[in-house]
Amino acid sequence: MIQEVIKFVVDILKVPAILVGLIAMVGLLAQRKSFTDTVKGTVKTILGFLVLGGGATVLVSAITPLGLMFEQAFKLQGIIPNNEAIVSMAMDKYGTATALIMAFGMVANIVVARFTCLKYIFLTGHHTFYMACMISIILTVAGFEGWQLVFTGSLVLGLIMAFFPALAQPQMRKITGNNDVAFGHFGTLGYVLAGWLGCAFGKGSRSTEEMNLPKNLSFLRDSSISISLTMMIIYLILAIFAGPEYIQANLSKGDNYLVYAIIEAITFAAGVFIILQGVRLILAEIVPAFTGFSEKLVPNAKPALDCPVVFPYAPNAVLIGFLFSFLGGLVGLFVLGQLNAVLILPGVVPHFFCGATAGVFGNAMGGRRGAMLGAFANGLLVTFLPVLLLPILGSLGFSSNTTFSDVDFCGVGIILGYMAEWFNKDIIMGIFIAIFALLVVHNALTKPKQDKE
């Protein structure tokens, strides 16, 4: 019965729409809003996330064939990092530990935000679930069990959920122009690197959103049109190289392969358009509602939202980021081939979401040059970090046919993996308790100064 209750709670928390809808409802109730306003705000928040999820589904359905055409065209074989695949492999053995660490990790996130200077509540449910799974695997192999496993895993997850949004917040302020919303997606190391590269090399570079075009090309200022046309060229080239026989037999259900490529390219742009509308709807509701939540539980806390939250601020950088991240993946693939290492194929889904986000961060800090360099660097990270993570997962008993894709999963996994190799469980638990204690002391010592200011 207890396991079924925990499973039900985790199933709710894994759904971003429900999780953020509940947060919005608590915030509206805390502000003593009327019944009408509470229902309206809660439903519109859930609606916004469903629109966002629907756009992501449309986009993934259109972009997946692009990866298949790429593999067919160039006859490549290797590993495509995939979070969902490796988590599904782990659920039979580590499902209960993952559920408990996720549930109590979210509580730990609120505690960390309440008593330290890391005032961020991480609201990307599926990434929380994936990170909880990876933490449960590594800590279990390190010898943790029972309450120590749940306690240490939850504390680690709670610290991570507050740390990464704090790391990204200075650049998020630059992107959004305010301090209302934080960033909650476990590819943050790549995005922050993109912003740093933008600062270092993008001085004087104009924004991706500034395009001086002749009047007869002014329609390209519409991001939906420019994305459609750009992706149309890419899809058509890959369709020609993959060949009509392969596409019509495996992808298009007999439809003409060029027509199929054109429709999928425009469907890709439609997915991006839907995502942008969903983000705007979410931001209009969650920020005011979260004010009430944070005032009651965690003063000055900010909601950390999924990566598409930054897409509306630079739609052109979204496309540039995807293309240059994918290019970085290709360069990384070539280097791995020269080194006779495991080949990490550039998966178009992680390169789109992570690359597009890196493009937005790079553009905010360094214009077009920052978007291109930052996304390219992100593509290299998405290629090389999984190679470093593979031996650790292999030593934990996982086959080497898949691995985690996003940068933070790889970074945290590598650090925890080496800690599990070098230290015993008591030292590991002591390290994370000490980190939390130091953050609490630091917050207590700096709070009087903040109050005076």
pLDDT by residue (tens digit) across 321-334?
999 999 999 999 99
Distance CA 190, CA 376 (A): 10
Q: Residues 73-82: pLDDT tens digits?
A: 877 777 777 7
pLDDT at 269 over 90: no
| Mean pLDDT (whole number) for 244-259 | 89
In the DSSP assignment, the letter for residue 178 is S
Give the model's pLDDT for residue 365. 94
Whether the CB-CB separation of 308 and 283 falls below 8 Å is answered with no
The pLDDT confidence band at residue 141, using thresholds 50, 70 and 90, is confident
DSSP H helix total and E strand total for the chain: 14, 3
| Mean pLDDT (whole number) for 99-128 | 88
Among the listed ranges 233-237, 353-357, 396-400, which one has the minimum average pLDDT value? 396-400
At 221, phi and psi to the nearest 5? Answer: -70, -20
| Total number of domains constituting the chain | 1
Distance CA 154, CA 202 (A): 39
**Would you call 346 helix, strand, or coil by DSSP?**
coil
The pLDDT confidence band at residue 218, using thresholds 50, 70 and 90, is low
Distance CA 427, CA 265 (A): 52
The pLDDT confidence band at residue 220, using thresholds 50, 70 and 90, is low
- Out of 50-64, 80-94, 200-214, 352-366, give the one with best mean pLDDT: 352-366
Give the model's pLDDT for residue 451. 47
Among the listed ranges 17-26, 383-392, 426-435, which one has the minimum average pLDDT value? 17-26
Domain span holding position 178: 2-452
C-alpha torsion angle, residues 326, 332, 334, 340 (rounded to 10): -140
Residue 272: Cβ-neighbour burial (10 angstroms; 0-12, 13-18, 19+): buried
User: Count of CB atoms within 10 A of residue 22's CB?
Assistant: 16
pLDDT at 399 over 70: no
DSSP output for 12-64: HHT-HHHHHHHHHHHHHHHTT--HHHHHHHHHHHHHHHHHHHHHHHHHHHHHH
Among the listed ranges 103-112, 190-199, 292-301, 331-340, which one has the minimum average pLDDT value? 292-301
CB neighbour list of residue 330: distance below 8 Å, 6 or more residues apart? 346, 379
Distance CA 26, CA 328 (A): 43
More confident residue, 160 or 451: 160
| Mean pLDDT (whole number) for 428-443 | 92
Among the listed ranges 17-26, 32-41, 347-356, which one has the minimum average pLDDT value? 17-26
Distance CA 164, CA 304 (A): 9
Among the listed ranges 28-32, 143-147, 347-351, 400-404, which one has the minimum average pLDDT value? 400-404
Give the model's pLDDT for residue 452. 46
**Which is it for strands 182-183 and 120-122: parallel, antiparallel or unpaired?**
unpaired
Which residue, among 52, 22, 116, has the nearest Cα to 281 in the 3D structure? 52
How far is C-alpha 350 from the chain's CA centre? 9
Q: From residue 74, how far is each of 12, 81, 201, 330 by CA, in Å?
A: 42, 19, 33, 12
